[in-house]
Amino acid sequence: MKEKYSVKKHLKTDSKMNVIASAAARLYSTKGYRETSMEDVAVSAKLSKGGMYHYFSSKEDILYFILSNFMDSLLEGFEQDLENIRDPEDKIRYIIRHHVEAYVAHMYSAKVLLNEAYNLSALRISRIKSKEKQYFSTIAEALSLYVGHRLNKDILTVVTFNLLGMCNWIYSWYNPKGAINSEQLSQVIFKNFTRGLFSLQVL
């Protein structure tokens, strides 16, 4: 019987800041970051423009808050959860389910991360990239263990990006209210990914 592991999906933020960030994430992901004004965000968040400036001084501040918070939600407890899972196959199942459920729960933030992060300043992009690198490295380590360290570093990098790509792009087509729930989607991704993985040869 397979063990069950909880997936942390909820961002920890000040409630008012979270309201603003949620409104901005929806606008940034649908209308575009550059096309969205602070006034647009204020209207969507049902706040006065002055009240919003009490929490954020610019669009970029909100963008950084959205992306930093989203990456924190992916990283929170992630390494520890994987360490607590003994079976390498279950680690991969958990990674996929964790990622899919986080993206479903925060679809707008996921879209913003993939499409609008370049609008951040160099320093802030560097901070987000550092968190992404930490997440990537944790997944790569689990994949290496799963295949018994039979992949060299370059192929392992390709494989890790391939898995993340399969999970990331669900935002462009997946409907959480459709016939396939997130658990079923995770299982499909797992089967497709792992069956192809073992056909690779060590280079």
- What is the CATH number assigned to the segment(s) 59-197? 1.10.357.10
Mean pLDDT (whole number) for 118-141: 97
Range with the poorest average pLDDT among 20-24, 98-102, 192-196 = 192-196
Model pLDDT, residue 200: 54
Residue 41 and residue 27 in contact, taking contact as beta carbons nearer than 8 Å: yes
Q: Residue 68's closest CA among 123, 26, 15, 137?
A: 123
Could you read off the pLDDT of 19-35 as tens digits, one per residue?
999 999 999 999 999 99
Can you state the angle between helices 182-197 and 88-105, rounded to 10 degrees? Answer: 140
pLDDT score of 202: 42
Residue 5's pLDDT band (boundaries 50, 70, 90)? very low
Percentage of the chain with pLDDT > 90? 72
* N-terminal to C-terminal alpha carbon distance within the chain: 36
pLDDT, tens digit (0-9, with 9 covering 90-100), for 149-180: 777 899 999 999 999 999 998 888 888 888 99
173-193 average pLDDT score:
90
**Token match 């602070």: residue?**
38
Per-residue pLDDT at 2: 39
Domain range annotation of the chain: 59-197
Q: What is the pTM of this model?
A: 0.85
Tokens describing residue 153: 């570093």
**What average pLDDT score do residues 178-202 get?**
82
pLDDT digits (tens, 9 = 90+) for 36-80: 999 999 999 999 988 889 899 999 999 999 999 999 999 999 999
Number of helical (H) and strand (E) elements in the chain, helices listed first? 10, 0
How large is the average pLDDT for residues 9-17? 61
Residue 12 has what pLDDT? 46
